[in-house]
Amino acid sequence: MIQKVLEWLFNNWLSLSAPIIVFIAFIVVSIWSRKRLFSYLERVFSQMGWEERRTFLDKTKTPFLQWCLILGAYISIQLSPLPLNLKAFLGKILSSLFILSLTWTIIVLLERILHIYLKKMDIFPSGTITIIINGLKIAFLVVAILIMLDLWGMPITPLMLMLFIAVFIAIFAARDEIINIFSGLEIARNNLIKTGNYLKLESGEEGYINEITKTNIHIKTPDGKILLIPNSRMLRSVVTIIKKQLKQATQPFRFSARLHLKELTGLKAANVYDLVDMLKKVDDAVIYYHTHNFIEEFQYLTPQPANDFALWVSDALGDQVLSEKLSNIDTFEFSTIGALRERIIDVIQEEIAKRQDINNAPSGREFHFIRSISAVIPTPYVAHDLREFIEILKLVSLDTLYFHIFESRLRLHKGVNDFSIWINDCLGEKDLADEIAVLDPYTYTLEGLRSMIIGIVEKHLEREYAVG
């Protein structure tokens, strides 16, 4: 057998050498032309400023050589003295290899370049981009398989029919999904609805867009619920975009709650002299308790009673004049408990100086000095923008509101409430921060204060972020 082959090669060496020379020439020319062509393309693409040229050139450089070699091999085979049926068979193999290489290259390029471009366009959500690319990849692969089958003489009509039926069934089964995906594409193309928008549908639902997926839009309603609106419904509905995307805070606001426990000091006063003596001795936590206790204990009342000292002087000592003077001390004026304590002592001493007699409280109605023990606990609520801030403010307990408004300002020596600090420092909204900072919280119930702050921020959003 080997001898026969050697004999055949010896007799046909001249007719064999031509195709071999042609193939070698193809290799040399391919390598040379690839170098020149890719240098030229690099230059042209650079001049065009095409950012993705490197990806394109890297991904096509090797396939280009493969295609040249396949072409060389094909021409060489046609020039060779091989039998015709063998030439046809080898030609089909080379054609199939070319189709596979070309399809693979297209798929790789699609994946890389199309992904980058679609993302840059910023009109499709990432889920939709993946679906588009995968759809195109499958389409190219199916076309390549059909061409190859045709090349090898296989009947493709029944296959195409089966494929058509399968695609039809798939489309029918996922028609809602597909409609939503295409609606999503249309919504994205219009570029009007974006995450962070506040919108209202004609059916009445309203809220902020939390997330846009390939099939639906997540709307967070004012009462904290999440509505999933299918893209097709969103496209059909009359939508009013009320507010634009909000400014994001550089640091989120983390809500904490303050709970308190009362600790007895064992100290008590039976008259105003005792009261002054004790006021000088007790620690800040005691003064804080007696000037703030009513805010929490009687948070539902407007107007709230004044501080504990004023109430006791009136109820237990029957001294209405001093009580009125103590009631008139505006706690909001003071940024430290020490200063507030001094003022209370001064008011009592000024009044005592005018008196000749003082009253004693009846037995059992002495003033008991109580210390406030505060426990500060973080809550799960975090706001990244003003809309989230408002939504959370509507939900949190009054202990949370109390902590950030009263406790932080006076007891934790910040001088200003926490909300104003965050709005100014992390959102850069100085005017809004100031508007909340100057609000005298001692003149509201806690619920009233909550409504007031929400109202101020809502108005600000209406002014600054409303569309049109």
- Residue 88 or 301: which CB sits closer to another protein? 301
Output the smallest distance, CB 311 to another protein, in A.
8
Q: Note whether 147 binds another protein by CB under 8 A.
A: no
Output the smallest distance, CB 368 to another protein, in A.
3
Q: Note whether 192 binds another protein by CB under 8 A.
A: no
Question: What is the C-alpha separation between 243 and 196, in angstroms, rounded?
Answer: 8
Report the DSSP beta bridge partners of residue 212: 217
Spatial neighbors of 221 by CB under 8 A, at least 6 apart, are 205, 206, 207, 227
- Residue 283 or 346: which CB sits closer to another protein? 283
Near another protein by CB under 8 A, which window of 4-12, 131-139, 334-342, 361-369? Answer: 361-369
Spatial neighbors of 88 by CB under 8 A, at least 6 apart, are none
Question: What is the C-alpha separation between 242 and 36, in angstroms, rounded?
Answer: 58
243: helix, strand or coil: strand
3-state secondary structure 408-438: HHHHCCCCCCHHHHHHHHCCCCHHHHHHHHC
Q: Note whether 411 binds another protein by CB under 8 A.
A: yes
Q: Note whether 331 binds another protein by CB under 8 A.
A: no
Question: What is the C-alpha separation between 283 and 372, in angstroms, rounded?
Answer: 10
Count Cα neighbours of 441 within 13 Å in the Cβ-side half-sphere.
Answer: 29
Q: Note whether 323 binds another protein by CB under 8 A.
A: no
Near another protein by CB under 8 A, which window of 77-85, 98-106, 294-302, 327-335? Answer: 294-302
Near another protein by CB under 8 A, which window of 127-135, 168-176, 208-216, 281-289? Answer: 281-289
- Residue from 49, 83, 158, 364 touching another protein (CB under 8 A): that is 364
**Residues in binding contact with another protein, number by CB under 8 A:** 43
Output the smallest distance, CB 449 to another protein, in A.
15
Output the smallest distance, CB 441 to another protein, in A.
17
Number of Cβ atoms within 10 Å of the Cβ of 383: 21
467: helix, strand or coil: coil
Output the smallest distance, CB 53 to another protein, in A.
57
Between the two ends of the chain, the Cα-to-Cα distance in Å is: 89
- Residue 44 or 301: which CB sits closer to another protein? 301
Q: Note whether 370 binds another protein by CB under 8 A.
A: yes
What is the distance, to the nearest Å, from the Cα of residue 40 to the centroid of all Cα atoms in its chain? Answer: 44
Q: Note whether 298 binds another protein by CB under 8 A.
A: yes
Near another protein by CB under 8 A, which window of 6-14, 93-101, 359-367, 425-433? Answer: 359-367
Burial class for 404, CB neighbours closer than 10 Å (0-12, 13-18, 19+): buried
Question: Which residue is it, tokens 């307990």?
Answer: 397
- Residue from 398, 416, 437, 456 touching another protein (CB under 8 A): that is 398
- Residue from 385, 388, 391, 399 touching another protein (CB under 8 A): that is 399
- Residue from 373, 438, 466, 467 touching another protein (CB under 8 A): that is 373
Minimal CA–CA distance to 106: which of 154, 143, 70?
Answer: 143
- Residue from 365, 430, 459, 463 touching another protein (CB under 8 A): that is 365
SS3 content of the chain, % helix, strand, coil (to 5): 65, 15, 25
101: helix, strand or coil: helix
- Residue 153 or 266: which CB sits closer to another protein? 266
Site for another protein in 412-441 (CB under 8 A): 412
Which residues of this chain interact with another protein, rule CB under 8 A? Answer: 257, 259-264, 266, 268, 283-285, 296-301, 305, 311, 315, 364-366, 368, 370-379, 395-400, 411-412
